[in-house]
Chains A and B, each alone.
Chain A
């Protein structure tokens, strides 16, 4: 069964500093990878996704992620964070076909002024 590991449960970072949220997935022949953001007491909003093609994926709010097949990783990055980026971030994976989305346990990003 597919699984996702988010290596950091909490990441504090100062405003305007860069940030990387790490995500590793269990190997599979082909996977589709996603990052979602969740603000308190809300649903999930898609930040970006990798389906195929370029391994560097750009998303909303200035975030980007790089798919690395050899390291089975899909780390999320932002060069300069804002207070409004404070939220929980989830990495998720789906294998080809109709299997449901599998989530990591989340990383809480706290941006400090």
Chain B
């Protein structure tokens, strides 16, 4: 089945540690996105990539980094510079046709 795999589903880290969230897709979609979700805040865009080896900052990129070395993969690193990293993180892909977005099932990160 085609889809998006986000792993792990739950992640716990100590304050000050970097952590990398995985997002893998087999949909052959060019564009990939990372959103952060907080209660009452909706989804806010962190980074996105429209082609391999290229990515752009979203609205809340500070404290995060990404890479796009392969079409299938778009990992997100939450660095120690991110002041409040505890949140639900969603990865999405987009097909060029009809602007359809497909979402992964998310990773809930808790920093203690």
Contacts and interface: CB of A to CB of B under 8 A. Distances in A.
Partners in one complex: yes
Interface of A: 6, 9, 32, 34, 36, 41-46, 49, 51, 90, 94, 98, 100-106
B41 A98 contact: no
B17 to A, nearest CB: 23
Contacts of B43: 44, 90, 103
Which size class do B's interface residues fall under?
20 to 34
A42 B42 contact: no
A32 to B, nearest CB: 5
A94 B43 CA distance: 14
Given A98-B50, A100-B48, A9 B106 contact: no
A42 to B, nearest CB: 6
22 contacts: A9-B40, A32-B99, A41-B106, A41-B108, A43-B90, A43-B103, A43-B104, A43-B106, A44-B92, A44-B101, A46-B100, A49-B98, A51-B98, A90-B42, A100-B45, A101-B45, A101-B92, A101-B94, A103-B43, A105-B42, A106-B40, A106-B42
A32 B94 CA distance: 14
A98 B96 CA distance: 9
Contacts of A90: 42-43
Interface of B: 4, 31, 33, 35, 40-45, 48, 50, 58, 88, 90, 92, 94, 98-101, 103-106, 108
Contact of A44 (B40, B103, B108): B103
A69 B98 CA distance: 19
A94 B99 CA distance: 8
The 4 closest A-B pairs by CB, nearest first: A43-B103, A105-B42, A103-B43, A44-B103
Contacts of B40: 9, 105-106
